[in-house]
Every structure is written in structure tokens, then in C-alpha cells.
Amino acid sequence: MNFVYPIIAFIMFAILQYNLLLAQTPKGEAQNPPSKRESLPKIKENVTKNKLCPECSRIYPGDIGFCSIDGKELVEFNEADLICPTCKEKANPGEKFCKKDGTQLISKSSADKKTSIPDKKVEINLPPDATPEEKTKAAMYHLMEGNRLREELNDYEGALEEYKKAEKINPELPSLHFQMGGIYWKLGNQREALARLDKCKTLLEAQPPETKSDENYQKRLQDVKVYINKLEKGLKPSEKSQRKELTLAERDERMKKALAENRGKWSEMIVIPAGKFIMGTTEDEFIPEETPQHEVYLDSYYIDKYEVTNALYWEFLQSIKSTGDHSKCFPSEPKNKDHTRGTPHKGWDYPYYDYPDYPVTRVDWYDAYAYAAWAGKRLPTEAEWEKAARGADGRRFPWGNVWDAKRSNVGPDAPLSVGSFEYGASLYGCMDLIGSVSEWCNDWYHPEYYRTSPSINPKGPETSTGTRVIKGASLFAPYAYKMRCAVRIFGKTEDRNKSIGFRCVKDHKSETGKTVKDASKQADNGKEVR
């Protein structure tokens, strides 16, 4: 038994030495030999880094670019620097809220700033000659102080007081009105909440094009619209009616202003010269209604450079409303038709019609015909539309034979303002002939019309076929093949669709005073037309 005690003592000594070695080894290394540590993945690389707003210290997922509160660009940060602003407890990686009291975590630098802001409200007295930068800084101080009072203390009245101070300094901050809308909603003032959200929406829509192209801008605008829609549902019928009248009055003013600034641009017409062009599609495309491909002569004519906009059509509606004159409308149009755009599902008060530079949609063929006649124009024939789109050389798309989505207003998130894609213009300079919206033509539609159509100034079947020609694929077209200039689609004269609008044409008179019809007669007689 004497030999047992030395053995036990040796084992105890070995255990003691091993524990001492563990105590001296950096955490995480004791169980991983150096040869294996190198092959282990780094934990940080497997964790999606969050982003931080440098202004309000809100934390967002890594794929977000801008703060939804104050619009500041988010920055990457070290999550190890996050602490609780109340208990000062440090955060673990991935945490956004304190595990002790549920307070939102902020960066240590932001916490240091907060401790420097006294609980007692500070009055900022701007000098009369304050610079724009000083005014913006002062307004943002009150905005952030209001956010602090709302988020940390649930002091809505105090927050509203700070927001009002910010508004006096700079009333053009979209985020300010968004926050005020939320406060008024919390305080039970639904009407004022809606007014503030409306103001936020207006300011966002007035942002420059470079801002509107940002994905985060579109999300912010959509969020505002969602909140407006939710609050509108809670209004009484009388309040809804009053609000609708107010909204429409604002629309009228917006349309008047847009027309004063852009009527000349939107009304611009382009001369399409007289001559021959290639119409239709070859037999090997296997599209019977587009064949045979054939040569067509057209007299010269004017065509609208842009599709008819909401503002231009609004002006037409105002004229019809004030005069009651329907003398230029199609003789057999339905009785009591007022030409108001919209459908039972998306009425004339639909927000789409608040945008003056959007192409008017949800108009049927009768509406398009009436507008064209009122404007001293007419709807294009199918041949006139196709020549304006593809030129004399039979190109597949307005710009050439190769599809390029960047040249066309396509996709569910595409901008809808007319003329947004300058490099998608046709050979003659017409905009949005592919993408944007499809367009009504004057012709009756027949799938075999090309087999018997005249070669000079074709105008479609002489008798009704029940449907009218529609040309040009809209932004909702499923694939590039449907975007070709030669594609033929059709619709009933009373159809209204979000993807269908129109543009107009008118006859072109030469310098000698001859109309294009005179020129076509010369062509019929075999004489050369110059």
C-alpha cells in the first residue's frame, strides 16, 4: 500500500498543473490546438452586421441604407460598442434591446452625447441672420429632442412641443411631419394626423429626381401612403367626403400649376415624313395576325411626342364639365358619358391621377376619341403608330433590333412620368412607344387584315369587328418578345385598363398648302411623291 500514496500525489500534481495551464491560456484556445484553430470559421463572418443611424442611434438590418426617421445614411458599427442608455449594460453580438429592461441599445458615443443633453429643455435662439446650415441644425435638434421625449419618456405633449419648434425653423422636413402625424394619432387627433401625413407625402413627392430614384425613398413614400390609407378607414362618412373634396381641390391646383409649366412640352408634336416603311412580321415568326410583312406608304402626319398626361386629360374633363359640349364625341358613344377616367375598382379619385406627368390610364376608346377631337386632333391609325415606332427600316424596337430594358419604362416599379427614358426614343424622337402604357388606335381590329389591307394609307376594316387595335406593350408586359413594335393587341371600345392610354395625331399640311390626302392621290396615280 505504500506505493499507492506517491501515485495519488503525482496525479493530483498533474491535475493542478493542467488547471494552471488553462488559466493562462486565452479563452477559446484551451480546447483547440493551434493546428485546428486556424481552420475554424470566424464567428463575425457568419453574423450579418447591423447598421446604425448616426443621428438617432436606431439600429437597422444590414441591407437597409437610410434611417426611416430622419433620413440619415446608416453606417456600420462595432456591436461590441452598444450599451443600454439606462443601465449602461454592454450588449452581446446581435442584440438590439437590453436584456434587463428592454431599452433599445445605442452606441457608446451616442450615449455620451445623450448624457450631455440636460433633461431640462434648452431654448435655441437663432440670430436674424442665421445661415441655412444653422437653421437646419437647430430644427434637427428640436426634432431629435422630440424623438427622445417620445421614445424614452412617452412624453407625447412634450414631443409635440419640440416638433412645433422645429416646424417654425424649417417646415419643409418630411420626417418632421411624419413624426407629428404619429404624435397626433397617439393623442387621438385623427384629422390633424392625416393632415401631417399628407404634408409629408407632398414634400416627399417634391424631392429631386436623384432622390426619387433611391429604393429607400420609394419605401418611405409607400409607408406614408399605407398610414394615410389606414387612418382614412377610421373616418366618418361625412369626414371621408370632406377629405375627398379637399384632396380633389388640391389636385386641381396641382394640375393648373403643372399645365402652366409643362403644357408646351407635353403638347409637342413630331412630323413623320411621307414615305414607305416595313409593317408587320415575317412568316418565320409564326404569328399569323402580324403577317404577312408588307410595305406600306403613308402620307406625312404629326404625332404627339408624349402620351397624353393626367394633366392634359384633366383639362379636357374641366372643359366638358364647364361647357357640357359633347359635339365632338363619337356619334354612337354610350349616353350620359362624362369621360371621367377610372373603373369601379379604381375610381377617378384614385391617387394615380394626382400625378400630372403620368400618362392617363383607365380610359376607353370613346374617351380617347373624344379627347383627340376636342384637342383638334385624332387617334392614329395602326399603320401611323407603327411607322412612328419602328421607322422606315422595319426595326423590332424603337431604338433598334436588340432589346434593352434600360431604354424602356418597364417593370412593376418603373417610373411612370412620360419621357423618363430619353434613350428609348424612336428614330423620329417619339417617347414611350414601348413600355409605359399601351395605346388606343383608331382602327377596327381583325387578325387577317394584313392579307387584304391597302398598301397606301391603310385605315383598318371599314365595318365594325367589335374590337379596336391597341399598339405598344405596357410596362406590365411579361417578356421582351411582347415589346416588339409589330405586336398587335385589341380591346373592346368600352374597355378600361390600368395599362392602356393613348396619344394623338393630326394631318400635316405641306408648304404649298396641299394636305397629305392630296399626296396620296398622286401616289395612286403612279406619280412620284416628294
Residue 29 lies in a domain: no
Label residue 528 by pLDDT band (50, 70, 90): very low
Mean pLDDT of the chain: 81
- Residue type for 506, please? K
- Per the CB < 8 A criterion, the answer to whether 83 and 106 are in contact is yes
Residue 30 lies in a domain: no
* Domain identity same for 158 and 230: yes
* Domain identity same for 348 and 447: yes
User: Which is higher by pLDDT, 223 or 294?
Assistant: 294
* Domain identity same for 107 and 169: no
* Domain identity same for 234 and 267: no
**Helix, strand, coil percentages in the chain from 3-state DSSP, rounded to 5:** 40, 10, 45
Q: Is 60 exceeded by the pLDDT of residue 459?
A: yes
Residue 15 lies in a domain: no
Can you tell me whether residue 195 is helix, strand or coil?
Answer: helix
- Residue 109 neighbours by CB distance under 10 Å: 13
CATH number assigned to the domain comprising residue 201: 1.25.40.10
Residue 21 lies in a domain: no
* Domain identity same for 207 and 265: no
Look at residue 70 in the predicted model and tell me its pLDDT. 63
- Residue type for 116, please? S
* Domain identity same for 93 and 141: no
* Domain identity same for 103 and 187: no
- Per the CB < 8 A criterion, the answer to whether 357 and 482 are in contact is no
* Domain identity same for 185 and 308: no
pLDDT tens digits, one per residue of 55-67: 666 677 777 777 7
Per the document, the length of the chain is 530
Nearest to 173 by CA among 150, 219, 148, 206: 206
Residue 173 lies in a domain: yes
**19-23, 178-182, 285-289: least confident range:** 19-23
Q: Which three cell numbers stand for residue 321?
A: 364639365
> What is the extent of the structural domain holding 476?
257-520
- Residue 523 neighbours by CB distance under 10 Å: 18
Q: Is 80 exceeded by the pLDDT of residue 78?
A: no
User: Which is higher by pLDDT, 152 or 312?
Assistant: 312
Residue 5 lies in a domain: no
CATH number assigned to the domain comprising residue 311: 3.90.1580.10
**1-15, 368-382, 493-507: least confident range:** 1-15
* Domain identity same for 478 and 516: yes
User: What value does the mean pLDDT take over residues 298-307?
Assistant: 98
Look at residue 163 in the predicted model and tell me its pLDDT. 93
Look at residue 80 in the predicted model and tell me its pLDDT. 63
Q: How far apart are CA 413 and CA 476, in angstroms?
A: 10
* Peptide bond just before 292 cis, omega within 30 deg: yes
| Number of structural domains the chain divides into | 3
Q: How far apart are CA 166 and CA 69, in angstroms?
A: 14
* Domain identity same for 310 and 449: yes
User: Which is higher by pLDDT, 515 or 58?
Assistant: 58
* Domain identity same for 231 and 293: no
pTM: 0.60
* Domain identity same for 196 and 303: no
Residue 472 lies in a domain: yes
